Chains A and B, each alone.
Chain A
Amino acid sequence: NAGVTQTPKFRVLKTGQSMTLLCAQDMNHEYMYWYRQDPGMGLRLIHYSVGEGTTAKGEVPDGYNVSRLKKQNFLLGLESAAPSQTSVYFCASSWWTGTTEAFFGQGTRLTVV
Chain B
Amino acid sequence: KQEVTQIPAALSVPEGENLVLNCSFTDSAIYNLQWFRQDPGKGLTSLLLIQSSQREQTSGRLNASLDKSSGRSTLYIAASQPGDSATYLCAVERDTNAGKSTFGDGTTLTVKP
Name A residues whose Cβ lies closer than 8 Å to a Cβ of B.
Answer: 4, 31, 33, 35, 40-45, 48, 50, 58-59, 90, 92, 94, 97-107
Whether A104 and B44, one on each chain, are in contact in the complex, defined by CB atoms closer than 8 angstroms, is yes
Whether B43 and A107, one on each chain, are in contact in the complex, defined by CB atoms closer than 8 angstroms, is yes
Whether B51 and A99, one on each chain, are in contact in the complex, defined by CB atoms closer than 8 angstroms, is yes
25 pairs from A and B in contact (CB 8 Å cutoff): A31-B98, A31-B99, A35-B103, A42-B104, A42-B105, A42-B106, A43-B44, A43-B89, A43-B103, A45-B99, A45-B101, A58-B100, A97-B31, A97-B93, A97-B99, A98-B31, A99-B51, A100-B49, A101-B46, A101-B49, A102-B46, A103-B46, A104-B36, A105-B43, A106-B42
When distances are taken between beta carbons in the complex, the residues of chain B under 8 Å from A94 are 99
B81 contacts chain A at the CB level, 8 A cutoff:
no
